[in-house]
């Protein structure tokens, strides 16, 4: 009897174990959603990640993986992403990949804010010291007091994020104060991240069974759904680059000056106005240097003045120098992705100088040139009197035609007179002394 009872217990335990094993081996029923950050953190990036988190939560995703490779970006946009991640109802996983990728500056903040932080081999994280980007994304003074305030804010901010996710608070502060940067292996050792995964499938396997906010992740073999950027997000992400802003500035300049020098052309003015609006939008986010803009404005003024001044090109040379210096100083940041290269700036300066000399210059000179057709061309001409001229009338011969003429002084035939006005078909003249 006892043996039969024991046998039944053994079978029940065996069946339960098999059932548990089958459940563990069963593929995840909910999909894993995935977003991708590849490039600087910008306002378009913040909108994209916020939308991805909302979509993953709405579709009841197992988790949202954010694959990231970024040199940094705007702290204002970074804060928007972090606030959304901290409040996310769906677990977020930041995966610094592929191999050779980095989570620099703002990317370090975002990685630390994830529920699970993962990196691929041969990647790095850190260098989170704020250079010249304020918490609100506005340009700041570069004095020591302001730098200290920005640094203090960044340190306290990254410490609070690391503490919230139970990561290495000391290293997080060091990444801001000392711009510390470490490899994936070192990050795992220092408990900055939780996983090193060679690829996406490896990441899904290592995430499987991990507890996040009281929830066990089932990701092994899960379907991965990519969340693509919308057309508008892609457009805004593409234009949010210093090089694009520089080109927009040139297009706005060429278009508006071209319209002014050739009134009625319409097309240059429309293109220039659109470029100017986009330029103003971007300047509200990028750290633009006022001194750089002032030098570019000075260059334009020198180009225009040289059109009318007999400087033998000296002002144009000065304008080219001012344009190059202003372009190099245009962005108030030492971050690599804010720098304009000389290979871009010098050709742009030469083309701009040529534009003002040959295109805008021709149009402006034509507008200010003396009138060469019509009755206005008669004013100032000196011609002989054909008959006696007084206040009652007279005749002159101009350009093969006889004209009625009147004058305040009496002029005898053959005397030279100067035409001073045209009143209908009558010329008002005065005697040349």
Element (H, E) at 273: helix 267-283
Q: Where are the domains of the chain?
A: 12-233, 241-368, 375-431
pLDDT digit string, tens, across residues 323-353: 999 888 887 665 666 678 888 899 998 888 8
Q: What is the pLDDT of residue 371?
A: 53
Mean pLDDT, range 154-175, rounded to an integer: 95
Contact of 143 with 192, CB cutoff 8 Å? no
Class of domain 12-233 as given by CATH = alpha beta
Asked whether the predicted pLDDT for residue 23 surpasses 70, the reply is: no
Mean pLDDT, range 367-385, rounded to an integer: 70
Q: What is the pLDDT of residue 311?
A: 66
For the sheet containing 416-423, what is the strand order?
Answer: 382-384, 416-423, 426-431, 401-407, 395-398
pLDDT digit string, tens, across residues 24-60: 444 557 899 999 999 889 888 999 999 999 999 999 9
pLDDT digit string, tens, across residues 76-107: 889 999 999 999 999 999 999 999 999 998 99
What band does 365 get if pLDDT is binned at 50, 70 and 90?
Answer: low
CATH 3.90.1720.10 applies to domain 375-431: no
Measured CA to CA, the distance from residue 337 to residue 142 in angstroms comes to 19
Element (H, E) at 427: strand 426-431
Q: What is the pLDDT of residue 24?
A: 44
pTM beyond 0.75: the answer is: no
Measured CA to CA, the distance from residue 174 to residue 167 in angstroms comes to 13
pLDDT digit string, tens, across residues 315-330: 888 888 999 998 888 8
Angle between helices 43-58 and 231-239 (to 10 degrees): 150
Contact of 33 with 65, CB cutoff 8 Å? yes
Question: pLDDT above 90 covers what percent of the chain?
Answer: 37
What band does 292 get if pLDDT is binned at 50, 70 and 90?
Answer: confident
Measured CA to CA, the distance from residue 159 to residue 176 in angstroms comes to 10
Lowest mean pLDDT across 140-154, 199-213, 373-387: 140-154
Contact of 15 with 206, CB cutoff 8 Å? no
Nearest to 349 by CA among 276, 298, 307, 282: 298
Asked whether the predicted pLDDT for residue 369 surpasses 70, the reply is: no
DSSP assignment letter at 288: B
Q: What is the pLDDT of residue 367?
A: 56
Mean pLDDT, range 298-318, rounded to an integer: 80
| Mean pLDDT over each residue of the chain, to the nearest integer | 83
């Amino acid at each position: 009897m006892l043996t039969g009872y024991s046998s039944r217990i053994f079978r029940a335990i065996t069946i339960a174990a098999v059932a548990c094993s089958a459940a563990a081996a069963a593929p995840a029923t909910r999909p894993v959603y995935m977003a991708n950050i590849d490039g600087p953190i910008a306002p378009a990036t913040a909108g994209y990640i916020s939308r991805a988190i909302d979509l993953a939560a709405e579709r009841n995703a197992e988790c949202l993986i954010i694959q990231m490779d970024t040199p940094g970006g705007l702290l204002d946009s970074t804060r928007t992403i972090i606030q959304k991640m901290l409040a996310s109802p769906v677990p977020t996983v930041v995966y610094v990949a592929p191999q050779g990728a980095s989570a620099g500056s703002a990317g370090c903040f975002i990685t630390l804010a994830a529920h699970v932080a993962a990196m691929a081999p041969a990647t790095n994280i850190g260098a989170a010291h704020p250079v010249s980007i304020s918490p609100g994304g506005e340009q700041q003074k570069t004095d020591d007091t302001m730098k200290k305030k920005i640094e203090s804010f960044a340190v306290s901010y990254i410490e609070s994020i690391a503490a919230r996710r139970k990561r290495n608070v000391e290293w997080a502060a060091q990444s801001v104060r000392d711009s510390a940067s470490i490899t994936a292996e070192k990050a795992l050792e220092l408990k900055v991240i939780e996983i090193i995964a060679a690829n996406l499938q490896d990441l899904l396997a290592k995430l499987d069974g991990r507890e996040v906010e009281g929830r066990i992740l089932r990701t092994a073999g899960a379907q991965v759904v990519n969340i693509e950027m919308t057309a508008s997000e892609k457009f805004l992400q593409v234009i949010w680059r210093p090089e694009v802003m520089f080109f927009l500035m040139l297009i706005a300049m060429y278009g508006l000056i071209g319209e002014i020098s050739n009134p009625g052309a319409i097309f240059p003015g429309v293109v220039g106005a659109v470029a100017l609006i986009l330029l103003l939008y971007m300047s509200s986010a990028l750290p633009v240097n006022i001194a750089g803009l002032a030098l570019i404005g000075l260059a334009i003024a020198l180009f225009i003045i040289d059109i009318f001044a007999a400087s033998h090109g000296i002002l144009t040379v000065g304008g080219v120098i001012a344009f190059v210096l202003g372009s190099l100083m245009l962005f108030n940041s030492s971050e690599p992705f804010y720098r304009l290269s000389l290979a871009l700036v010098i050709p742009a300066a030469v083309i701009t100088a040529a534009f003002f000399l040959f295109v805008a210059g021709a149009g402006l000179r034509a507008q200010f040139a003396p009138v060469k057709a019509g009755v206005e061309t008669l004013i100032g001409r000196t011609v002989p009197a054909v008959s006696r001229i007084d206040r009652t009338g007279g005749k002159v011969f101009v350009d093969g035609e006889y004209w009625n003429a009147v004058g305040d002084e009496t002029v005898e035939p053959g005397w030279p007179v100067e035409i001073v006005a045209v009143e209908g078909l009558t010329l008002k003249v005065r005697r040349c002394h």
